[in-house]
Amino acid sequence: MEVLGYLSSIIIGISLGLIGGGGSILTVPVLVYLLGVNPVTATAYSLFIVGTSSLFGVWPKYKQGLVDLKTAVVFGIPSIAAVFATRKFIVPAIPSDVFHVGEFVVTKAILMMVLFAVLMVAASISMIKEKKKEDIEENEPQNFNYPLILVEGGIVGVLTGLVGAGGGFLIIPALVMLSKLSMKKAVGTSLLIIAAKSLIGFIGDTISDSASMNWILLLSVTGLAIVGILVGNLLSKKIDGNKLKKGFGWFVLVMGAYILLNELVLKSGGGH
């Protein structure tokens, strides 16, 4: 299982490099089911892994002129504030036993995994759906819809804080619609936003509880994800990421359904 977990870490990075997202949605399941990490701790580790590997992925995009720094700041500030507050205050405040359904206790760990699975299903649907071929002209003037960007940034930040996923599938459409970026620029800019908010969210965790972190495991998985993202960036010159996106979307949908089944049916005794 451990070997499989480390191999999957490379796949997480390749996915980020090839299709500009989706990799982070696999990080928590890999940590929980293959590497035996507690779900609440896994969401913290995921922030570090996703943030660091996205930082490595953003540099080649920046050199190609595919990162809009002004948009990253406008969208990133509410998102970063929300993710930091969520990790520092909301996550520690959730009780270990959240509520009871008959004899079934919904624990903090189960709640985290169910939230994560719902996010996986939503992400998979956005990957499977055919996108309309509407794209923004590169020289079209930008008009920021500040109130909507503020709300969207805040929502993405809270979700990232709760489940430890980068939320690229939410950020990219928002940047195209609300900031009038081209698709390619939206992918590059989203990597920078994901890197910043994930790493700052992780800092919120280390302030609360740095002693219990398994740094050897964390840095091993992060290193492999970075190797993956560099391989993914090289492959993206030869393979069309959009063609892979739909297949990857179906895989994520199956994973999300499995987590829901495992957490809600098997753990409640419905599988016995």
The backbone torsions φ and ψ at residue 29, rounded to the nearest 5 degrees and listed phi first, read -60, -40
Alpha carbon separation from 103 to 191, 259, 268 (Å, rounded): 43, 20, 8
- The predicted pLDDT at position 219 comes to 93
Confirm if 95 and 108 have CB atoms less than 8 A apart: yes
CB atoms near residue 139 (< 10 Å):
5
Torsion 176-179-184-189 (CA) sign:
negative
Task: Classify 111 as helix, strand or coil.
Answer: helix
Element containing residue 101 per DSSP (H, E):
strand 97-101
Query: CA of 3: how far to CAs of 6, 8, 220, in Å?
Result: 5, 9, 12
Whole-number Å distance between alpha carbons of 57 and 168: 13
Give the pLDDT of the chain (272 residues) as one tens digit per residue: 788 888 888 888 887 777 766 666 788 888 988 998 988 888 889 889 988 988 888 888 899 898 999 889 988 899 889 988 888 888 888 898 988 887 888 888 888 889 888 888 888 887 788 665 555 555 556 667 778 888 888 888 888 888 777 677 778 878 888 778 887 888 888 889 988 988 888 887 777 666 678 889 999 999 999 998 888 878 877 776 667 777 778 888 888 898 899 888 876 665 44
